[in-house]
């Protein structure tokens, strides 16, 4: 190839051309917080489950595992609702990751649900979606619920 292109760059290029029909997650989180301090009402979860992809940053030590943070004194996988946010967070915590490339993992919500089942067996207690003022926590029981059951609740 006449140019160098990393997988992360392709994922982000795809996202910048995303359909306008995708929701603004920050707005959905803000609305959810008006209703509940947990920021996890049914509408928020339904919206997140209907996204085409969830994005994870691979752990530098084990590239097949997601990065983990601590929330409520328990280990939680870091999940992002768009690749730009994921890349920005990865570069903030490890500026060398931009040079490494291919640190993003993109999974559909149903694939992520199955992955979370294996992570739960290894002690992951939940998921922290996004970062900053619009971050929200979801317990592992909700993340690992069957997709159809979660959608039928919303």
State residue 54's pLDDT score. Answer: 92
- How far is residue 153's CA from residue 133's CA, in Å, rounded to a whole number? 26
Q: Are 65 and 54 in contact, with CB atoms under 8 Å apart?
A: no
State residue 65's pLDDT score. Answer: 82
Per-residue pLDDT reduced to its tens digit, 56-115: 988 877 878 888 888 878 889 999 998 888 888 888 877 766 655 567 888 999 999 999
Q: Are 65 and 71 in contact, with CB atoms under 8 Å apart?
A: no
State residue 37's pLDDT score. Answer: 57
Cβ neighbors of 138 (< 8 A, separation 6 or more) are 40, 45, 48, 126, 127, 129
Per-residue pLDDT reduced to its tens digit, 15-69: 555 556 677 888 888 888 776 555 446 788 889 999 989 999 888 778 788 888 8
State residue 5's pLDDT score. Answer: 39
Question: Residue 130 pLDDT more than 90?
Answer: yes
Q: Which tokens belong to 60?
A: 């530098």
Q: Please give the model's pTM, rounded to 2 decimal places.
A: 0.77
């Amino acid at each position: 190839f006449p140019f160098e292109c990393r997988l992360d760059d392709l994922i982000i290029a795809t996202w910048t051309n995303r359909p306008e029909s995708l929701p603004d997650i920050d707005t959905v989180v803000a609305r959810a917080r008006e209703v509940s301090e947990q920021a996890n009402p049914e509408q928020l979860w339904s919206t997140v489950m209907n996204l085409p992809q969830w994005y994870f940053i691979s752990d530098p030590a084990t590239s097949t595992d997601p990065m983990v943070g601590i929330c409520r004194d328990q280990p939680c996988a870091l999940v992002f609702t768009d690749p730009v946010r994921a890349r920005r967070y990865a570069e903030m915590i490890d500026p060398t990751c931009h040079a490494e490339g291919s640190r993003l993992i993109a999974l559909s919500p149903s694939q992520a649900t199955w992955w979370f089942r294996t992570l739960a067996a290894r002690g992951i207690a939940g998921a922290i979606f996004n970062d900053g003022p619009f971050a929200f926590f979801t317990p592992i029981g909700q993340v690992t619920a069957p997709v159809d059951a979660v959608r039928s609740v919303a």
